[in-house]
Amino acid sequence: MRNAPSVSYLVGRSAFLGGLTVGVGVLGMAAVLLVITYGQLFAGLLLVPVWLVWALAAWRMRSRQVHGRLTWSAKESEWSWSSAAYLHGVGLSRVERVYDLQAWILLRLHNPDGARIWVWAERQRDPVHWDALRRALRAHA
């Protein structure tokens, strides 16, 4: 298993996370409207700013998500990351699988400077190379 194939995979903004965020936002607003509708006007009006702060935080998180290319080189036995911030790529000291949902994987990338980058890998982006990425992640965890 240590000889996982070389693979290059585009990762970044997650449609899964975006859908989950929108769903939670809609449920939150529905809860606020139910509170207002069923006679708790004051409590509902207090919840509106809470929901707005949550919505702003969710939008900010979504807009700050990075995207780039994660590459495993079997020949050099190393991970690398290239993105708008790392145009020429940077070697990674470690790639962690934080949460694995089979079709989506939350990854934490560690560069040699100690910075951590959180990204989502999704099967739908490149189904042909998905299994190769999963093998590389498992073999070199």
CB atoms within 10 A of CB 77: 11
Asked if 116 contacts 108 with a C-beta cutoff of 8 angstroms, the reply is yes
Q: How far apart are CA 125 and CA 17, in angstroms?
A: 14
Q: How far apart are CA 88 and CA 83, in angstroms?
A: 8
Say yes or no to pLDDT of 17 above 50: yes
Nearest one of 109, 58, 86, 81 to 10, comparing CA atoms: 81
pLDDT digits (tens, 9 = 90+) for 32-41: 888 888 878 8
Query: In whole numbers, what is the pLDDT of the chain averaged over residues?
Result: 87
In the chain, the percentage of residues whose pLDDT exceeds 90 is 41
The pair phi, psi for residue 135, each rounded to 5°, is -65, -45
Q: How far apart are CA 96 and CA 94, in angstroms?
A: 6
pLDDT in the model for residue 1: 45
pLDDT in the model for residue 19: 87
Say yes or no to pLDDT of 141 above 80: no
pLDDT digits (tens, 9 = 90+) for 73-98: 988 889 999 988 778 888 899 999 99
pTM comes to 0.77
